[in-house]
Structure 1
Amino acid sequence: THAVMEVSSHALDQSRLAGTELSVGVVTNVTQDHFDYHQNLENYAACKAKVIHHVKQNGTVVLNCDDAVCRSFAAEVKVSQTLLTYGIHNQADITAENIQESANGSAFEILYAGSRVPVRTSLIGLHNVSNCLAAAAVCLASGLSLSEISEGIRSLGCVPGRMEQVDCGQPYTILIDYAHTDDALSHVIRSAKKVCSQRVLCVFGAGGDRDTSKRRLLGLAGSEADQVIITSDNPRSEDPMQIIEMIAEGCRTKGVTPELIVDRKEAICHALEEADAGDLVLIAGKGHECEQIIGDRRIPFSDRLVVEKYFSNSLSGNSTKIPA
Structure 2
Amino acid sequence: MPYPATRLRRSRRHAWSRALVAETRLTPADLIWPLFVIEGKDAREPVASLPGVERLSVDLAAQAAKDARDLGIPAVALFPNTPAHLRDATGREALNPDNLMCRAVKAIKDAAPEIGVITDVALDPYTSHGHDGLLGPDGDIANDATVAVLVEQALLQARAGADVIAPSDMMDGRIAAIRAALEADDRPNVQIMSYAAKYASAFYGPFRDAVGSGGLLKGDKRTYQMDPANTQEALREVAEDLAEGADSVIVKPGLPYLDIVRRVQEAFAVPVFVYQVSGEYAMLSRAAEAGAFPLEAAMLETLLAFKRAGASGVWTYFARDAARLLG
Instruction: Name the structure, 1 or 2, with higher relative contact order (CA <8 Å, separation 6+).
Output: 2
Structure number with higher strand proportion:
1
State the TM-score, normalized to the length of structure 1.
0.31
Structure number with higher helix proportion:
2
